[in-house]
Amino acid sequence: MKSSRLLLRLTISVFVVAVLVAGYFLYRKYATDARRSVLVIAWLNDPLAHPDWAIHVGERCGEAPFIFPTSGFIGYLWDDSFRVNHRHQGIDIFGGGEPGKVAVRAAYAGYLTRLPEWKSSLIVRISQDPLYPKRQIWLYYTHLADAEGKSYIVPEFPPGTSETYVDAGTLLGYQGNYSGDSNNPTGVHLHFSIVLDDPSNPGHFLNELEIRNTLDPSPYFGLPLNANTNKGEVPVCPKEK
């Protein structure tokens, strides 16, 4: 009888400790994510007050393979959580301007596709990942339309475009606030993610909406863009000494 009570107490103690530990880590993660939201709001309210938070289109961080695809503040990171059971699959770069004004350019050379139904999205196939040359990857750009779905993608890439070569730095379009719901537009920004090739169907990209199908962009830009390791740092290139 005593051994049963001891086992029960031990089990309860282990459960309580596990709950406390899990709660601590959840608190740390969501508190950091909430802080990023505060910074995004501050940037959108007055981007000129925070010039040191900005990256600039076409620039490169050190020896990183990708150039910055647009200008603005990298507000949300890869694997951020905006709500329970949600994991952000890329990065959000907020230009701090009006819809249709902040340019979006190719971060790396590749072959561009725009599906017939895509109003605000493009994807570029890179046949050799610059960090892992035996792997093929895709660069996904979205929110290039206004709240009503009017596209800001340049006319050179109409719906149905397939495998059109673009150099790094090619103008793709402009940041917008399209969310798919005209009554609930997003802030003006570019969502950018790195998507894996489908191993069962090479030459086709996996579903970008699932984080397991995307890559941490940190090494491609030379910036701390992983929400699990960035605990509040604004991701900008270090200043040269």
**Residues written for the chain:** 241
pLDDT at 14 over 50: no
Range of the domain at 143: 2-221
pTM of this structure: 0.85
**pLDDT band at residue 231 using 50, 70 and 90 as cut-offs:** confident
Residue 97 lies in a domain: yes
Tens-digit pLDDT profile for residues 31-71: 456 788 899 999 999 999 999 999 999 999 999 999 999 99
Residue 80 lies in a domain: yes
Residue 12 lies in a domain: yes
pLDDT at 198 over 70: yes
**pLDDT band at residue 5 using 50, 70 and 90 as cut-offs:** low
Backbone torsion region of residue 33, taken as left when φ is above 0, otherwise alpha when ψ lies between -120 and 50, otherwise beta = alpha
Residue 235 lies in a domain: no
Residue 94 lies in a domain: yes
With 0-12 / 13-18 / 19 or more C-beta atoms within 10 angstroms meaning exposed / middle / buried, residue 81 is middle
pLDDT at 17 over 60: no
CATH of residue 120's domain is 2.70.70.10
Residue 229 lies in a domain: no
> Averaged over 148-167, what is the pLDDT?
98
Residue 234 lies in a domain: no
| pLDDT at site 121 | 98
Residue 233 lies in a domain: no
d(CA 218, CA 195): 14
**pLDDT band at residue 205 using 50, 70 and 90 as cut-offs:** very high
Write the secondary structure of 154-175 as one string of H (helix), E (strand) and C (coil): CCCCCCCCCCEEECCCCEEEEC
Q: Which tokens is 64 given?
A: 């990183």
Please tell me which residue, 180 or 241, carries the higher pLDDT value.
180
The half-sphere exposure of 56 on its side-chain side, counting CA atoms within 13 A, is 4
Phi, then psi, of 123 in degrees rounded to 5: -140, 140
Number of domains into which the chain is organized: 1
**pLDDT band at residue 81 using 50, 70 and 90 as cut-offs:** confident
